[in-house]
Each structure stands twice: as structure tokens, then as C-alpha cells.
Amino acid sequence: MKKGSARYLLRLDDLCPASDWPRWNPLLALVEELGIRPILAVIPRNLDPELEIAQADPEFWPRLRAWEARGAAIGLHGYRHLSNVRGRGFLPLHRATEFAGAPLEAQRAWIHAGVEMLRGEGLHPRLWVAPRHGFDRHTLTALREEGIALLSDGFASAPFTRGGVTWLPQQLWEPVEKRAGLWTICIHPNTATTAQIDRLRDFLQAHRAEFLSVDEALDEFPPIAFGLSHWLSTEFALGRIGISRMRRRLRAGVGR
């Protein structure tokens, strides 16, 4: 690993018993072969019909325990993966989410139930992964009460603390080579195209030595308090994403 080069985290989202296993299994096998310790974003009680794709895997929970034993970090990916709440969270990327805007007591109940479900299966959820990036100050309160002091989200090039929680920024939805900093690549294997998986495979093989576990990332990039530079990075990223979405809508309109 070159001194001063970028480091990466791999996050795999929407993991539940009825995932699309023909898509997941080859990717998980590659990640294991390369010795990469990803963040696995697990939905405790999935009620999202779009993610009920395959026959539920009877070995789902034992497989997750084995992955955690090999160094994967288990992320609490919401509770039911529903998007029936409207509210403005820290990262207003979507109008409808599962958590942002919901009352504190509801969020407490959902997070507590989700954590208990995962712990009941012998897992140790370490960090929060919000469905559709939707979470607010009530979410952070509920997470702290459950002893979860990490989350995977935000726009910066290194971890920071905000609201009593450490944020491991998640800035990429496809592999992109960077010069410095810590970058989390988030992939949704259930819906990823073959081309997207192929690009990820090539990137993982080429940069395997630059991928860290969550603990290694925190050791190499000690979190600092949220400040002006983090706020500016967030505003710039949200603006860039908004412009990109507007261009896609315009292109779609022209193509009609």
C-alpha cells in the first residue's frame, strides 16, 4: 500500500434472508477470497416487497455470524426498509424515508427492535446505515441510547463526530480511484447490473491492499469534530447530486 494513497471501505446494502442470492453469492465469495472486510447493511425485519426476491435462505443468520467472525462489520439498515415517512434529515437526498421526520418514540421503538433482533441472532450491530440516507437528530438520540456510536453516511474525506456519533462518510456508489482520504463505496447487489458488478470486481482486485476494515479505518483516520469544512463538503456534494439528477430528468424529457 502506497503511503498517502486513498483507502476504501466496501459497503453492501439491503441484505436480508430473501435477497437475490445468485447476485450476492459470487460477490461475497470474491470479497472473502480477497480478504476484504465489508460493512454488511442488514435489514432486521424486511417488509419491502421489492427486496423479497428469492426463497429465504435458511442459513442466512449462520452465514452472517460467520462473516462477522471473519471481520465484517454488521450495520443496522433501518428496521423494515419502508419509506412511508416524510421529513428533512441531515442529508435530504430523498423526500420519503423510513426514519427522518418520524417521532422520537417511534424511532426509539424501531431501532430498539432492530438491534434486539440482530443481537438475538448472535450478531453485534456496530453501526447505523439509514435507508435512503434518511435520519435526523431523533435517530441519533435513539442510536446513542442503544449503544450504537457509529454510522455510515455523510460527505467528507475522513471520519468526523456529530451529534454524539462518529460518521464514517459514504460518498461513492461505484468504484472511483481517489488520491487520498477514506472513501466508502456503497453497492446494492440486489439491483446492481452485471456491468456494475464487473467494474467493482476489477476495482477490488486492483486495489485490494487499500481496503480497510471499520476498525482499521478508525485507527488510520481518527475522527475529528464536525466543522466548517465538513459543512462545506456536504453542501457541495448535495448541490452536485441535485444538478446530476436535474440533468438526468432533462435528458429523459428530451428522449420522450
Per mean pLDDT, which range of 11-25, 43-57, 225-239 is the poorest?
A: 225-239
Has residue 1 been placed in a domain? no
- In this structure, the answer to whether residues 231 and 210 fall within a common structural domain is no
Provide the terminal-to-terminal Cα distance of the chain, rounded to the nearest Å.
48
Pairing verdict, β 160-162 and 165-168: antiparallel
- In this structure, the answer to whether residues 64 and 169 fall within a common structural domain is yes
- In this structure, the answer to whether residues 78 and 104 fall within a common structural domain is yes
Please tell me the predicted confidence (pLDDT) of residue 237: 66
Which among 190, 195, 201, 187 has a CA at the least distance from the CA of 22? 190
Has residue 2 been placed in a domain? no
Please tell me the predicted confidence (pLDDT) of residue 205: 93
pLDDT digits (tens, 9 = 90+) for 143-197: 999 999 999 998 888 999 999 999 999 989 899 999 899 999 999 999 888 888 8
Helix (H, G, I), strand (E, B) or coil at 231: helix
Please tell me the predicted confidence (pLDDT) of residue 96: 80
Please tell me the predicted confidence (pLDDT) of residue 3: 47
CA 131 from centroid of its chain's CA atoms: 8
- In this structure, the answer to whether residues 213 and 233 fall within a common structural domain is no
- In this structure, the answer to whether residues 50 and 89 fall within a common structural domain is yes
- In this structure, the answer to whether residues 199 and 242 fall within a common structural domain is no
- In this structure, the answer to whether residues 205 and 111 fall within a common structural domain is yes
- In this structure, the answer to whether residues 111 and 143 fall within a common structural domain is yes
- In this structure, the answer to whether residues 59 and 134 fall within a common structural domain is yes
Please tell me the predicted confidence (pLDDT) of residue 231: 67
Domain that holds residue 139: 7-224
pLDDT digits (tens, 9 = 90+) for 212-236: 999 999 999 999 987 777 767 776 6
- In this structure, the answer to whether residues 220 and 252 fall within a common structural domain is no
Strand order across the beta sheet in which 165-168 lies: 182-187, 7-15, 39-42, 73-76, 127-128, 150-152, 165-168, 160-162, 224-225
- Which backbone phi and psi does 151 adopt, to 5 degrees? -140, 155
Has residue 240 been placed in a domain? yes
User: 204: domain CATH number?
Assistant: 3.20.20.370
- In this structure, the answer to whether residues 186 and 255 fall within a common structural domain is no
CA–CA gap between residue 25 and residue 108 (Å, rounded): 33
Q: Report how far apart, in Å, the C-alpha atoms of 122 and of each of 8, 15, 16, 230, 255 are.
A: 27, 16, 15, 36, 51
Please tell me the predicted confidence (pLDDT) of residue 241: 56
Asked whether residue 242 carries a pLDDT value surpassing 90, the answer given is no
| Residue 88 or 243, more confident | 88
Overall number of domains in the chain: 2
CA–CA gap between residue 104 and residue 98 (Å, rounded): 13
- Which backbone phi and psi does 188 adopt, to 5 degrees? -110, 90
Q: Retrieve residue 150's grid coordinates.
A: 457509529
Please tell me the predicted confidence (pLDDT) of residue 256: 47
Helix (H, G, I), strand (E, B) or coil at 126: coil
- In this structure, the answer to whether residues 11 and 123 fall within a common structural domain is yes
Q: For helices 137-145 and 104-120, give the axis angle rounded to 10 degrees.
A: 40
Please tell me the predicted confidence (pLDDT) of residue 173: 87
pLDDT digits (tens, 9 = 90+) for 61-120: 999 999 999 999 999 999 999 887 778 777 776 678 888 899 999 999 999 999 999 999
CA–CA gap between residue 73 and residue 90 (Å, rounded): 23
What residues form DSSP beta bridges with 183? 8
49: exposed, middle or buried (Cβ count in 10 Å: 0-12, 13-18, 19+): exposed
Has residue 109 been placed in a domain? yes
Has residue 19 been placed in a domain? yes
